[in-house]
Chains A and B, each alone.
Chain A
Amino acid sequence: MSEYKGILVFSERPDLMLEMLGKGRELADKRQTELAAVLIGGNVEDRASELVKYGVDKVYVASSPALERFQAEAYLGVLHSVALAHKPETIMIGSTRNGRPLAARLATRLDAACVPDCTRLGVDENGRLVCERITYGGNAVAKIAFAGKPQIVTVPQRAFDKPVPKERSGQVVSIDVKVDAARTEVVGVKPLEISSVRIEEAEVVVGCGRGLEKKEDRGLLDELAAVLGGQVGSSRPLAEDRKWFTEWVGLSGHKVKPKLYIACGISGVIQHVAGIRDSKVIVAVNKDEQAPIFEIADYGVVGDLYEILPALKEAIRRQQQ
């Protein structure tokens, strides 16, 4: 068992990589082991020293023009070879739409378990890695321990806070890159029209649901969000069914963790709640007194969002003056 040692972190998203490093450092300290990270890309040597500042003891750098863009087989090949050579006990991979299959395939190659979307990670009294993840459509939180090694977890965005960087020393190791041939060919990429600030990073989110009657009425939410310095989010039906938004907040969409979440005309189905649960303060505005959203709100207003939102906007403006 003891041949596996250390923690290895990878995400193709630089911000998510840094978020995982704080937790990775904590776990490494608890186990008195090493924290390593893998950097993969076209020209990524320069970023290695940054990772050291964020807590990494050893950075494996795989730099090659062929790795400029994310490519599943090539990235998988690099991670697999690092995992075989250094036998990390725990591998943390950023849970993006590319990262999750990457983790699943790496786990399969290593004949290992994988626990996806861990929102909490810790070590129990027996020294086992224990993860928590949301399951059953938001109805439950599962606590899962690993029975073998290596242990692979994926971590969603904003689950952990980015650590504070400091000057420290670490080792940078260039690895010989053997680029595995691609099995799929990317023939086109189209950027999505999304707001310049990512909703995960917004401090205030004004969320709207089916209580919004017309697409044009979203102005009400925009105005309130503007006063609060926040962003507007939508529930899944407004995005997937009515196509008024391209993205949504919820279990299958973005998971947000703002200081303030204002749910407007959102009934509060469990899948939506799973996406907002970690908000610091939740406010619910809904016409239906029985709406389940009130059960998970700190402040609830039974009323029409068309009346409450403009009044709230004015009230905040007045009190700020």
Chain B
Amino acid sequence: MKRIVVCLKQAIDVSQLKVDSATRQLITASAPRKISDFDKNALEEAVKVKEKTGNVELCTLTMTSEDAKTTLREALAMGSDKAYMVNDAELKNVDTLGTAYVLVEAVRKIGEYDLILCGETSLDSFSGLVGARVAELLGLPFVSSVRKLSVEGETAVAERSLEDSTETVKAKMPCVISVTREINVPRIPSLMMIMKASKKEIVNWTLADVGVQKEKLASKIELVEVLAPKTERKKIKITGESVQEIAEKLAKALIQEGVVKG
């Protein structure tokens, strides 16, 4: 094995996202950013593969319209050897197809690879389309929802987590694999690893550097609105002198609602 490329997204930390209650608009500009959870699992898995097979260059790649150096430093501290960032203001509103075009050209520019890893979906937009699109554009086998991975010679052996079964799949490398969060627990880098990471290289490319034509990035969807959902719940607190009284009141209310047979 020569090289593993992990595609990761600098995502909005949705657990710290605030909503303007008057307009129901999300306040995304000031929300903290981090490595998208699922991609972090992909990176951890890549580090594990590297630890087993040795002599592999592990690269992380991100596409962004804002600076992502801090996020990439964390990836380097976790064990990535080198990081690539395609950073261009033009990438602000690209859809999943545009994202895939950019990643594919960047992967080609990085050079030969055996394995491309990514998270099953992203923490913020939760689309789960980019990995499959990258595989399709590169004409590579794609294995999704992977919860266990091993590399045997030139073959990736993956256990996929499906709705009602788990499926073990073999794919000849190079191939693209997307992982679930069950696959591992990402390591927390030690101080030593963080210090080592500061010496590693982050390559910064623009759109022109990777050679993607602007027409390819024209979004085929239009975001009409993104608003916090309305909650129209009754919010009735049930209180009483005793647990029994509360239970009786609740049971009666549920029967009246018609959701419990009376």
Contacts and interface: CB of A to CB of B under 8 A. Distances in A.
A104 B136 contact: yes
B222 to A, nearest CB: 5
Question: B interface, by DSSP: helix, strand, loop or mixed?
Answer: mixed
B259 A187 contact: no
B162 A183 contact: no
Interface residues of B, number: 86
Interface string B161-175: 111111111111001
Could you say which interface size class chain A belongs to? 35 or more
B144 A101 contact: yes
A186 B172 CA distance: 12
Contact of B165 (A141, A189, A318): A189
Given A183-B140, A270-B15, A277-B229, 16 more contacts: A101-B178, A104-B132, A108-B136, A114-B96, A116-B128, A136-B126, A140-B226, A144-B224, A145-B221, A260-B260, A295-B235, A296-B231, A302-B237, A303-B246, A312-B251, A320-B262
A135 interface: yes
Contacts of B145: 97
Interface in A51-97: 72, 96-97
B97 A107 contact: yes
Interface string A279-317: 011110000000000111111111100011001101110
30 contacts: A72-B142, A96-B163, A97-B145, A97-B163, A98-B162, A101-B132, A104-B130, A107-B97, A111-B97, A113-B219, A114-B129, A116-B127, A136-B12, A140-B226, A141-B228, A142-B225, A189-B165, A192-B166, A252-B121, A283-B254, A295-B231, A299-B234, A299-B238, A300-B235, A300-B237, A303-B243, A312-B251, A315-B244, A315-B247, A316-B260
B19 interface: yes
Nearest to A194: B164
A67 B194 CA distance: 50
A143 interface: yes
B30 interface: no
Contact of A251 (B97, B126, B243, B244): B126
Contacts of B175: 183-184
B170 A112 contact: no
A210 interface: no
Interface of A: 72, 96-98, 100-101, 103-105, 107-109, 111-117, 130, 134-148, 183-192, 194, 204, 228-229, 240, 251-252, 259-260, 269-271, 277, 280-283, 294-303, 307-308, 311-312, 314-316, 318-320
A112 B219 CA distance: 10
A190 B166 contact: yes
Given A187-B169, A283-B254, A147 B229 contact: no
A114 B220 CA distance: 9
Contacts of A130: 224
A319 B255 contact: yes
Given A108-B100, A240-B182, A320 B238 contact: no
Nearest to A96: B163
Closest 6 CB pairs of A and B: A137-B14, A113-B220, A104-B132, A311-B247, A183-B141, A315-B251
A116 B235 contact: no
B238 A300 contact: yes
A308 B243 contact: yes
A142 B97 contact: no
Interface in B137-168: 137, 140-145, 157, 160-168
B61 to A, nearest CB: 18
A307 B244 CA distance: 9
Which of B169, B171, B227, B252 has the largest number of chain A CB atoms within 10 A? B169
